[in-house]
């Protein structure tokens, strides 16, 4: 056997065999070493956390991050594929807390920090086996044997060095600011972390009276959605240029912005109007005197952030719990009242609600305000509120000590570097990402946690000198008790004492660790242990040509990479970034374990194959769109593309083996091949050209769309039209042309589809190329990506074939409408041609159309009037959206009374014009519905300007030929059911059930018996006893077939 017989269907089992082959022969490593010394295409792997199992979102990112490096490798580049693991931070700590059954930092301290750190280290790679299995089974080629790991000493040392560069430039500083704070995790968060956790929630919306000290029965009306912060109020802010009013409402007076009078619902009388600056300095009574301020407080100040878009135009100021509040508090030297502990609960001084979580105390506070007469109105409001991105607890804005990177100092450089990056899709660059960059604030980098890169700042107890340790060597140089095998984590680094370089006093490290997003965001440099080694490797691998992650990373990894690189290297860290959309279930609901709608990816690989899962993720919609991911879609993609390609491949092998095809002996210049062969070769090269253009623009869905269309044309047009050529009883140049053409196209498709569907590509290539050519590369993944031969692209021929295929499509539709099977020959089809090109194409390809539609003749005509009568109706939906909406009844009446064919003629030439009540009216093609009414003798179909008409009248000879073709169909079906080989000769017996109809079958066999015998390999067709009854165009016939002994 020349070629191994492939399976009829795409097989997940076959993929397992290919995986074993890749592993045994080290194909991945060979694909890398093959390109050593070639131009580099640099890829950065965004590091996942391995303490959770992979889900469909990870499969999507892996699929995209595998496709581009595979493609670029086959295009001749050397593409490094270094894997990475993000191992620090809250994700790991919270997982360990769950394992240990603990819920707070106090619990961790009791358990022991060292024990907790050991558990974190163990947890980091808890699911590594599942990740490796997913990566391997999916055919995702990445080097997981030499990854960068953020918790290793080498990586941490590089991070320390990077922090040292910020320190030297005075870009890392200690501050006291209001920061987003998670009371559950007990740590501050950065703005990009906060951006990932917003949810729509329902919160209180209250209007509160703040009584003026020197004006009886007069209050400021103040709005807030955080009643718990009222306990810490120290001032009220107004806009100095905003107009305010005093309103008499029953027995009291209210002061609020004039533009916000609507909150009083039309009640009350305005008795005075003044600018906000006239209110500045007025004193009011403290709302809750639980904490006595240590500075002047409870008076009106001006604030540039006050607006009249909502609320009352007067803002309550609590510097302990708001960024604007804190800033304006500093400007006005206001006290900070902070009766809330780090656990987010009221301290003892807030007697009524001590020990309660602040947001949980809101209802009780509102009740108290109502009872004291201070509450004016209370309702609920839906708005977005930040939650912890890891533990899902509501965040508080909390004034506290933290360490910051002064990102605002080089904001303009960050913006300029963003301009140099190509974003796919482009709107992310100018929209979501740019908006975030324009509003960037200093990066709160420190975390009051345990498992993370320790902030390497030591402080002298004697002279208060601060020193940042930027290397292990520096640590040992100053250290008094640094072991050789020091682990750079808490609690080990906390135990180290350093000698102060200023006064030789004892230095101790600050307790914080750093934001884990800084770890992953510095991988461009730290993955190489730069600058301590690999300086040349770093230089060769910076910046990245390509990165790819989900859309949520715009405020995560994409941001942290850009910020660290801009400061450190004065350049963007990546040139091209593909942003992936979210993965949803069949109903468009975001996948999550809590909703129970997450698919098991390994099960999908085992059931449908990795190629099918991959193709479903590459096709249908652009990578950056939200994608619905469900089993039926995977099954459909398997059938639509892979199944079709597999069928063509199986067909070729079947007949190539029978005919003992030899690709070397069958070589033939393309110019000497049949027209349909030249067409499919042109289509193939055209497709290769389009796919390469699309891939170079990261337009993956355009590439897969072209490939799907080509494979459909290959199977449902080329192979179907050429089928007879492959089983010709006599060897001929036409058969040789067919075989070599399909062989070249299939082997070319193996290379074209290899980056997308690496398994079927390998199967086809190994069988059709490597099996018969010892000099060929052993794997398709060691070959080059195909390059289009532009000289073989015949656009004129493609245009002609495209026209013929459209005619065939309409012809089939006409047959279906008239209930005429394709096996029933028809006398004639008329085609309305628009120009000489279409007329000549019909003439040149008449034989093809005759065979495809089973026709005796084809007649081009220029006017459809003799065949088709058109009725014109208004398109109500389109007209209803435009300026003619009010004239629809008159337009309908007009169209009812005119010749629809004339309307169509004018529309074909640009538009239909007429007058109504003396006014000119012009209708476009989309504003008119044209219904084609055929004559009784013809079945008519129209699409755009193309119309065809099939003659439905059947002569006696046509009826008999139709019966013969039906007999062929049924005999072929019986051959298949009996598992006869395609070369087996047979005998046929037939028996007509109704003797009155026997003449028709006998005449059909007498007249077309040679045709039936040739098609079915029948040596004889005789009246006799049949075994299986069939309906042959309304005639009940029993057929029996027996296999003839081979000679």
Active site members: 47, 86, 517, 553, 557, 590, 593
d(CA 546, CA 908): 48
Question: What is d(CA 964, CA 966) in angstroms, rounded to the nearest whole number?
Answer: 5
874 closest CA partner among 940, 945, 947, 924: 924
Distance CA 377, CA 227 (A): 12
Contact of 335 with 297, CB cutoff 8 Å? yes
Using CA atoms, how far residue 785 sits from 73, 613, 645, in Å, is 8, 22, 18
Distances (CA, A) of 733 to 628, 718, 725: 49, 17, 10
Query: What is the distance between the alpha carbons of residues 747 and 756, in angstroms, rounded to a whole number?
Result: 15
Contact yes or no for 575/544 (Cβ under 8 A): yes
Determine which helix (DSSP H) or strand (DSSP E) holds 1022, and give its type and residue range: strand 1018-1023
Three-point CA angle 548, 552, 557, nearest 5°: 60
Q: Label the pairing between strands 243-249 and 938-943.
A: unpaired
Rounded to an integer, what distance in angstroms lies between the CA atom of residue 182 and that of residue 161? 29
DSSP label at 767? I
> 925: which DSSP letter?
G
Q: Which residues pair with 1043 in a beta bridge?
A: 986
For 897, phi and psi rounded to 5 degrees? -105, 5
Count CB neighbours of 407 within 10 A. Answer: 23
Question: Which residues have CB under 8 Å from 125's CB, separation 6+?
Answer: 50, 51, 85
Using a 10 angstrom Cβ sphere, with 0-12 exposed, 13-18 middle and 19 or more buried, the burial of residue 720 is exposed
Give the phi and the psi of residue 143 in degrees, each rounded to 5: -80, 95
- Closest by CA to 984, choosing from 997, 975, 974, is 975
Distances (CA, A) of 1037 to 978, 1005, 1020: 19, 13, 17
Q: Give the containing element (helix H, strand E) for 302.
A: strand 299-302
d(C-alpha 112, C-alpha 910), whole Å: 82
DSSP states of 829-856 as a string? Answer: EEEE-SSHHHHHHHHHTHHHHHHHHTEE
CA dist 156 → 488, 491, 797 (Å)? 7, 15, 63
| Cα 785 to Cα 917: distance, rounded to the nearest angstrom | 66
Residue 446's contacts (CB-CB under 8 Å, 6 or more residues apart) are 188, 402, 403, 455, 510, 512, 513, 514, 515
Q: Are 117 and 151 in contact (CB under 8 A)?
A: no
- CA distance linking residue 323 with residue 315, whole number of Å: 13
Other Cβ atoms less than 10 A from the Cβ of 703: the count is 26
In DSSP terms, which residues pair with 357 in a beta bridge? 345
Sequence-distant (≥ 6) Cβ neighbours of residue 466 within 8 angstroms? 457, 458, 459, 460
Residue pair 454/489 in contact (Cβ under 8 Å)? The answer is yes
What tokens does 640 get?
Answer: 């639509």
Going through 532-608 in order, the beta strands assigned E by DSSP cover 547-550, 576-580, 583-584
**Tokens of residue 167, six digits:** 């320190």
- What phi and psi values does residue 164 have, to the nearest 5 degrees? -60, -35
Q: What is the DSSP letter of 1020?
A: E
């Amino acid at each position: 056997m020349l070629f191994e017989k492939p399976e009829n269907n795409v097989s997940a089992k076959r993929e397992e065999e290919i995986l074993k082959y890749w592993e045994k022969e080290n194909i991945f490593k060979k694909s890398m070493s093959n390109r050593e010394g070639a131009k580099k295409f640099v890829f950065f792997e965004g590091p996942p956390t391995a303490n959770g199992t992979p889900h469909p979102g990870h499969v999507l990112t892996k699929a995209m991050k595998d496709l581009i490096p595979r493609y670029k490798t086959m295009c001749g580049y050397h593409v490094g594929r270094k894997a990475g693991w993000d191992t620090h931070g809250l994700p790991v700590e919270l997982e360990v807390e769950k394992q240990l059954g603990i819920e707070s930092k106090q619990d961790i301290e009791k358990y022991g920090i060292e024990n907790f750190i050991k558990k974190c280290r163990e947890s980091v790679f808890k699911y590594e086996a599942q990740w490796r299995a997913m990566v391997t089974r999916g055919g995702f080629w990445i080097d997981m044997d030499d990854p960068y790991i953020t918790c290793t000493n080498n990586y941490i040392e590089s991070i320390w060095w990077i922090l040292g560069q910020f320190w030297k430039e005075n870009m890392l500083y200690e501050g006291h600011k209001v920061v987003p704070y998670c009371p559950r995790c007990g740590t501050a968060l950065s703005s990009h972390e906060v951006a990932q956790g917003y949810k729509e929630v329902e919160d209180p919306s209250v209007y509160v009276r703040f009584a003026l000290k020197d004006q009886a029965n007069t209050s400021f009306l103040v709005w807030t959605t955080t009643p718990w912060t009222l306990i810490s109020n120290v001032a009220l802010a107004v806009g100095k240029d905003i107009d305010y009013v005093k309103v008499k409402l029953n027995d009291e007076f209210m002061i609020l912005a004039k533009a916000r009078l609507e909150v009083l619902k039309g009640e009350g009388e305005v008795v005075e109007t003044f600018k906000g600056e006239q209110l500045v300095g007025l004193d009011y009574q403290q709302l809750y005197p639980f904490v006595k301020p240590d500075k002047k407080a409870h008076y009106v100040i001006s604030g540039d952030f006050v607006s009249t878009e909502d609320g009352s135009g007067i803002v309550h100021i609590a510097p302990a719990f708001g960024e604007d509040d804190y800033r304006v508090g500093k400007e006005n030297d206001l006290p900070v009242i902070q009766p809330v502990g780090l656990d987010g609960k009221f301290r003892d001084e807030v007697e009524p609600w001590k020990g309660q979580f602040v947001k949980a105390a809101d209802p009780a506070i509102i009740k108290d305000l109502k009872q004291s007469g201070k509450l004016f109105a209370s309702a609920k409001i839906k708005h977005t509120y930040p939650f912890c991105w890891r533990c899902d607890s509501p965040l508080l804005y909390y004034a506290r000590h933290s360490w910051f990177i002064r990102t605002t100092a080089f904001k303009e450089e960050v913006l300029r570097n963003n301009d140099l990056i190509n974003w796919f899709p482009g709107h992310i660059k100018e929209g979501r990402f740019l908006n975030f960059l324009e509003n960037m604030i200093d990066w709160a980098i420190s975390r009051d946690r345990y498992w993370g890169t320790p902030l390497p700042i030591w402080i002298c107890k004697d002279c208060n000198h601060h020193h940042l340790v930027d290397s292990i060597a520096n640590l040992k140089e100053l250290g008094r008790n640094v072991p050789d095998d020091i682990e750079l984590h808490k609690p080990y680094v906390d135990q180290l004492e350093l000698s102060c370089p200023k006064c030789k006093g004892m230095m101790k490290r600050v307790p914080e660790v750093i934001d884990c997003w800084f770890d992953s965001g510095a991988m461009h440099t730290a993955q190489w242990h730069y600058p301590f080694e690999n300086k040349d490797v770093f230089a060769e691998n910076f910046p990245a040509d390509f990165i790819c992650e989900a859309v949520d990373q715009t405020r995560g990894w994409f941001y942290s990479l850009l910020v660290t690189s801009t400061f450190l290297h004065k350049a963007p860290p990546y040139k091209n970034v593909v942003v992936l959309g979210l993965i949803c279930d069949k109903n468009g609901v975001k996948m999550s374990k809590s909703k129970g709608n997450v698919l098991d990816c390994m099960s999908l690989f085992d059931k449908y194959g990795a190629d099918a899962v991959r193709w479903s993720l590459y096709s249908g919609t652009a990578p950056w769109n939200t994608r619905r991911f469900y089993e039926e879609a995977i099954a459909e993609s398997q059938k639509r593309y892979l199944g079709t390609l597999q069928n063509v491949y199986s067909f070729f092998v079947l007949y190539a083996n029978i005919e003992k095809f030899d690709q070397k002996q069958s070589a033939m210049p393309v110019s000497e091949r049949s027209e349909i062969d030249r067409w499919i070769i042109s289509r193939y090269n055209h497709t290769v050209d389009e796919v390469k253009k699309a891939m170079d623009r990261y337009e993956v869905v355009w590439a897969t769309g072209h490939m799907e269309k080509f494979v459909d044309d290959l199977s449902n047009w080329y192979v179907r039209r050429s089928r007879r050529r492959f089983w010709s009883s006599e060897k001929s140049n036409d058969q040789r042309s067919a075989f070599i053409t399909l062989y070249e196209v299939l082997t070319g498709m193996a290379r074209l589809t290899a980056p997308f569907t690496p398994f079927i590509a390998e199967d086809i290539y190994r069988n059709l190329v490597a099996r018969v050519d010892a000099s060929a590369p052993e794997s398709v993944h060691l070959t080059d990506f195909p390059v289009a031969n532009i000289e073989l692209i015949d656009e004129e021929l493609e245009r002609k074939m495209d026209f013929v295929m459209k005619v065939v499509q309409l012809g089939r539709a006409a047959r279906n409408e008239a209930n005429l099977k394709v096996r029933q020959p028809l006398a004639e089809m008329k085609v309305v041609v628009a120009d000489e090109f279409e007329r000549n194409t019909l003439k040149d390809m008449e034989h093809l159309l005759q065979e495809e539609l089973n026709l005796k003749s084809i007649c081009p005509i220029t006017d459809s009037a003799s065949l088709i009568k058109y009725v014109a109706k208004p398109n109500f939906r389109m007209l209803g959206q435009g300026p003619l909406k009010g004239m629809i009844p008159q337009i309908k009446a007009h169209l009812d009374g005119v010749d629809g064919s004339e309307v169509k003629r004018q529309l074909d030439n640009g538009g239909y014009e007429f007058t109504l009540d003396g006014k000119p009216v012009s209708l476009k093609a989309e504003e008119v519905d044209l219904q084609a009414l055929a004559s009784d003798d013809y079945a008519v179909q129209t699409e755009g300007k193309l119309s065809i008409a099939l003659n439905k009248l059947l002569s006696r000879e046509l009826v008999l030929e139709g019966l013969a073709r039906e007999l062929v169909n049924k005999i072929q079906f019986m051959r298949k059911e009996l598992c006869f080989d395609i070369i087996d000769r047979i005998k046929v017996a037939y028996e007509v059930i109704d003797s009155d109809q026997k003449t028709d079958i006998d005449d059909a066999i007498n007249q077309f018996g040679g045709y039936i015998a040739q098609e079915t390999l029948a040596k004889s067709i005789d009246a006799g006893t049949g075994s299986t009854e069939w309906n042959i165009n309304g005639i009940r016939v029993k057929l029996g077939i027996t296999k003839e002994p081979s000679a």
